[in-house]
Amino acid sequence: MVRRGVCEETSRFFSKSNSVLDEIPLNIQDVSDAQQLVELDPKASKPSKPAAAPAKILFLDGVRGLAAILVVSQHSHEYLHDLDLGACAVDAFFVLSSFLLTMLFMKKSVRMLAQKASYRKWAFSLADYFSKRFFRVYPLFAVVVFLVWLLPFEQKKQYFLVKERGHFDLFKVLTFSFPHRYFVFWTLPLEISYYFCLPVFVLGVLNLRRFWWVPFLPLYTWIIYAGWHERRSSHSPLAPHFPTFLAGSMAAALFVKLDTWVKSTGFEFNKLQTLAVRVVEYAALALILSVCFRRNSHPGNPAEPTMFFHWVHDKEHEEGGFPFISVPVTLVIVIEMLLPSCISAMFEWSVLRYWGKISFSVYLLHSFVVFSDIYAKEPNMYYDRLFCRFGLILLLCTASYHLVEYPSQLLAQRITRALTEQEAKGPGSLTFPFDTKYRFFRAPHTTTQIA
């Protein structure tokens, strides 16, 4: 769905999208995850006329694209070098990944519980979920690791900051050994580890039925406390970054609940309610900007706020580390998905969405361009380097997407079809031990499924 309006064009959106979220084909980095929720029925009759294209969450693609650009800028040590926007971009990646996967898995779980799916079907569903996550992340990672392994030590040190000769062990890097998580590789084992936590979180929330909101209060308290008082940094294990992932999953659960309630009750925001929501959203956006746009400090000195947001309290002794933006970012995402405004329209720009499409390749491969010697280092060549860097990264990552990422997603889809066919051959009799008589577990009445 393309929105052509200004900030408050929302009534048209709600009038045309009573069943938006149950039919969303996500045009984002995790596009293959949307396809894992499809219950293909080969016997179903095809419609005589093509259905209108359902709505897409385009702006999340743009957010991912902006995050990829900020990572490149951070590692260039030339653009916005006095800010730590790369850390903010990594947190945005973590939040988007957990938010989208939780939303998709939760919606499918609700449908399967309503259908009283057997243990066998749940097992096939989880196998499909993990296979899609594996083929989304690991093939390109393995290709990059193998290419780096073939390089001489000088280039390993130049492109991936390998400090010791002979220290790049191919097997240990591929298996995510902690001392061998070079450069940007450190984030992948964190995301993969959280993939195993996500189904537990979703099924735990569903098992609480109407009291699903009770644990959210202490969890949000913990997330906010950890964000403001505990130090996080790159090349850390999952534990310090777990609240960031959890914030994305909790926001997804809140969105699914709110979206279901809005569609079931036919609720529409009036002008006063819209104004109140916008005040909260813009306050969260101001908080994000005030935290992100802080100059890097010298050791022992506190970070200084830039822009005009001096109301954010600084610690007496700045410890460095990642800024805390996960909660306000998820708040803005949920509001934009429920009540879109000019913010989401801005991120729907096709350029940002394309960078979001190839963002995983950008994240893994940009060092081959940013740290290379193919362009001049003179100060008067600043703009030459700017366009050369981003142009070469765009070409390299486009090729990587079509040669590695896209074929991997096609392979994952073939595995999905094979699992679906295998599951259909022998349905089990034991069902999942959740009582579906509660209205909470009833699947919403929609005419189409996620495609």
CA distance linking residue 335 with residue 56, whole number of Å: 16
Global pTM reads 0.79
Q: Which of 5-14, 227-236, 308-317 has the lowest mean pLDDT?
A: 5-14
C-alpha pair distances (Å), 424 with each of 113, 115, 368: 17, 15, 46
Check residue 52 and give its pLDDT: 34
Residue in 199, 332, 335 with CA at minimum distance from that of residue 259: 335
CA distance linking residue 159 with residue 246, whole number of Å: 32
In DSSP terms, 305 is beta-bridged to: 294
Helix, strand and coil percent figures for the chain, each rounded to 5: 65, 0, 35
Percent of the chain with pLDDT over 70: 76
In DSSP terms, 190 is beta-bridged to: none
Long-range CB contacts for residues 125-129, cutoff 8 Å, separation at least 24: 126/199, 127/419, 128/36, 128/415, 128/416, 128/419, 128/420, 129/36, 129/105, 129/199
Check residue 138 and give its pLDDT: 94
CA distance linking residue 7 with residue 232, whole number of Å: 35
pLDDT in tens, 282-319: 999 988 988 888 766 554 555 555 554 555 555 444 55
CA distance linking residue 404 with residue 53, whole number of Å: 28
In DSSP terms, 83 is beta-bridged to: 295
Q: Which of 37-41, 113-117, 303-307, 365-369 has the highest mean pLDDT?
A: 365-369
**Contact criterion met (CB below 8 Å) for 272 and 221:** no
pLDDT in tens, 114-173: 888 888 888 999 999 999 999 999 999 999 999 999 999 998 888 888 888 878 888 999
**Contact criterion met (CB below 8 Å) for 336 and 321:** no
Residue found under tokens 């090729």? 399
CA distance linking residue 41 with residue 401, whole number of Å: 30
Please give the full DSSP string across 3-58, using - where no structure is assigned. Answer: --S-TT--HHHHHH-TT-GGG----STTHHHHHTT----TTSPPPSSPPPPPP--H
Helix (H) or strand (E) holding 92: helix 85-114
Mean pLDDT score, 196-209: 92
Check residue 318 and give its pLDDT: 52
The domain spans of the chain are 27-32+55-426
Residue 211 CB: number of other CB atoms within 10 A? 10
Residue 251 CB: number of other CB atoms within 10 A? 24
**Contact criterion met (CB below 8 Å) for 73 and 307:** no
Residue found under tokens 């040590």? 77
Phi, psi of 148 (to 5 degrees): -65, -40
**Contact criterion met (CB below 8 Å) for 202 and 113:** no
Residue 448 CB: number of other CB atoms within 10 A? 11
Residue found under tokens 């765009």? 394
